[in-house]
Amino acid sequence: MLLGPSGSGKSTLLLGIAGLLDGGQAEGELLVEGRTPRSARERIGSVFQDPESSLVMARVGDEIAFGLENRCVPPDEIWPRVDEALEMVGFPYGRGRPTDALSGGEQQRLALAATLALRPGLLLLDEPTANLDPAAAELVRGAIRLIGAAGEQTMLLVEHRVADAVELVDRVVVLEAGGGVSADGAPAEVFASRGGELAAAGVWVPGHPLPHPEPGPRAAAPAPILAANDAGYRFPGEPSMAVGHVDLEIRSAEALAIVGPNGIGKSTLALLLGGLLRPSQGSVNGPDGRAVGRIPARHLARMIGSVFQDPEHQFLTGTVRDELTLAPLRGRDRDVDALRRASDLLERLHLAALADFNPFTLSGGEKRRLSVATALVDDPGVLILDEPTFGQDRRTAVELLGLLAELRDQGRAICFVTHDLPFAAVLADRTLEMGR
């Protein structure tokens, strides 16, 4: 298992081992079975943080078969291996399911199935359970256990859910934030001797849970600010509703967690609540009774800040600094308060050193923090976040937890979709569990 603070290079190292780094400045030597990674690619299988970027086919079965065909697997072996891989990861649909109809968690399981079907000698997994509900995450860990029991593959796993995954690995390697290795050994030995030190540096360590944020005085009693009334949405061309018949209040000075299994419609509901989708049925209204989906964008952004499941979908500029100052500078007059907030958020969310970087070159955890910062810079009264802790190390998760709790206590309405149940347990005042 490969551990380390956010931005320490875990994902970059996996890309290097997979032979997918091109350009840049390199030093030292990297070999796979005595060969360069590029020459050993047929022995390597990779599942990275963004599963959507690896999907190329329109249907689930074809997605898995595509890799097998490229490896010249005999035709009569392809479909049995496709079905075997889908079963290993507990995939909930058959071969004919459209890939563009999958949730983020379902895409993640499909990407893992496509990789397992290739039967690589070296398996690289970058947070394979990050966007999965607890039941689906356990199915994936079960598949990883089968791989380990067979003893035919080497696995390198990057994972933030360390307590759940530690029994799957034989060795832990911890990367330093500035480069190098700070610990290497058996999990029990590393965590026993260095656990407190590693947790303070931002590494997730068993036995070091998230602290409860310091309670502060609430600015006011919770009051309704958004209301969904029998709200639902059907994507164009789909026969059934992605989410339907939702009655829900979002209240000021309160944090609401939305939880439930993958594919249940949590992200779609977040888009409805944020005014980014118009309901196919029912309504979502603001405090003045207006439908939020019909509020002009320039006003909506100041009322509701949204953080998407995929942070790259909301980046518009070439640097982190420009991304944060885009909103304050978009009008004729400079919004001095918003510019000050942008500067404060750079520091508080540990992005100041990355201010001149292109947002698309950041690590998954850094992208998530930037997307949260861009939603906060306009100081909206409502904040809706989809998987806010994705890719976060322990230090930045604690900082994010404290920031959201502070905003809630000041009177903001916080609504977040999450599979991170420990995070929900320490932040949420209410929890909505969605069912099928």
Q: Is residue 330 part of a domain?
A: yes
**197 and 232, same domain (yes or no):** no
**325 and 177, same domain (yes or no):** no
Q: Is residue 396 part of a domain?
A: yes
- Largest Cα separation within the chain, whole Å, is 67
How far apart CA 69 and CA 44 sit, in angstroms, is: 16
**155 and 255, same domain (yes or no):** no
Q: Which is nearest to 387 in space by CA: 317, 311, 280?
A: 311
- Cβ neighbourhood burial of 124 (10 Å; 0-12, 13-18, 19+): buried
**46 and 79, same domain (yes or no):** yes
**Lookup: tokens for 269:** 């509901």
- Quickly tell me which residue has 């640097």 as its tokens: 319
How far apart CA 290 and CA 282 sit, in angstroms, is: 13
**130 and 194, same domain (yes or no):** yes
Q: Is residue 192 part of a domain?
A: yes
- Quickly tell me which residue has 């079960």 as its tokens: 142
Q: What is the pLDDT along the chain (436 residues), one digit of tens a residue?
A: 999 887 788 888 998 999 888 766 677 888 888 999 989 988 999 988 778 878 899 999 999 999 999 999 999 999 999 999 999 888 889 999 999 888 777 888 899 899 999 999 999 999 888 778 888 888 888 878 877 777 778 999 998 888 888 988 999 999 987 788 999 999 999 999 999 999 988 899 998 988 888 877 887 889 999 999 999 999 888 888 989 899 999 999 999 999 998 888 999 999 999 999 999 999 999 988 899 999 988 888 889 999 998 888 889 999 999 999 887 776 544 567 778 888 899 998 889 999 999 999 888 788 989 999 999 888 899 999 999 988 888 988 999 999 999 999 999 999 999 999 999 999 999 999 998 6
**What's the half-sphere exposure (Cβ side, CA atoms, 13 Å) at 288?**
5
Contacts of 409 (CB under 8 A, 6+ apart): 215, 216, 217, 218, 219, 253
**For 33, which DSSP code?**
T
**191 and 242, same domain (yes or no):** no
**114 and 43, same domain (yes or no):** yes
Q: Is residue 218 part of a domain?
A: no
Which domain CATH number covers 98?
3.40.50.300
Residue 301 confidence (pLDDT):
83
Residue 214 confidence (pLDDT):
81
Residue 321 confidence (pLDDT):
92
Q: Which is nearest to 5 in space by CA: 387, 399, 385, 342?
A: 399
Residue 330 confidence (pLDDT):
65
**Lookup: tokens for 113:** 């199935």
Residues present in the chain in total = 436
Entry pTM: 0.83
**156 and 243, same domain (yes or no):** no
**234 and 124, same domain (yes or no):** no
How far apart CA 234 and CA 239 sit, in angstroms, is: 8
Q: Is residue 314 part of a domain?
A: yes
Q: Is residue 59 part of a domain?
A: yes
Residue 332 confidence (pLDDT):
45
How far apart CA 233 and CA 85 sit, in angstroms, is: 32
**Lookup: tokens for 383:** 């904040």
**Lookup: tokens for 300:** 């909506």
Geometric angle at alpha carbon 401, from 399 and 402, rounded to 5°: 65
Q: Is residue 219 part of a domain?
A: no
Residue 341 confidence (pLDDT):
85
| Cα-based distances in Å from 394 to 3, 152, 364 | 11, 33, 14
- Determine the structural domain holding residue 68 and report its residue range: 2-201
How far apart CA 90 and CA 94 sit, in angstroms, is: 11
| Cα-based distances in Å from 191 to 4, 157, 172, 174 | 13, 17, 9, 11
**Lookup: tokens for 366:** 């850094």
Q: Is residue 367 part of a domain?
A: yes
Q: Which string of b and e fits 219-255 if b means at least 16 CB within 10 Å?
A: eeebeebbbbeebbbbeeeeeeebbbebebbbbbbbb
Angle formed by the axes of helices 320-329 and 336-348, to 10°?
Answer: 160
CA 159, 310, 242, 420 torsion-angle sign = positive
**237 and 359, same domain (yes or no):** yes
**142 and 262, same domain (yes or no):** no
Instruction: Give the count of domains, the chain.
Output: 2
**23 and 167, same domain (yes or no):** yes
**For 206, which DSSP code?**
T
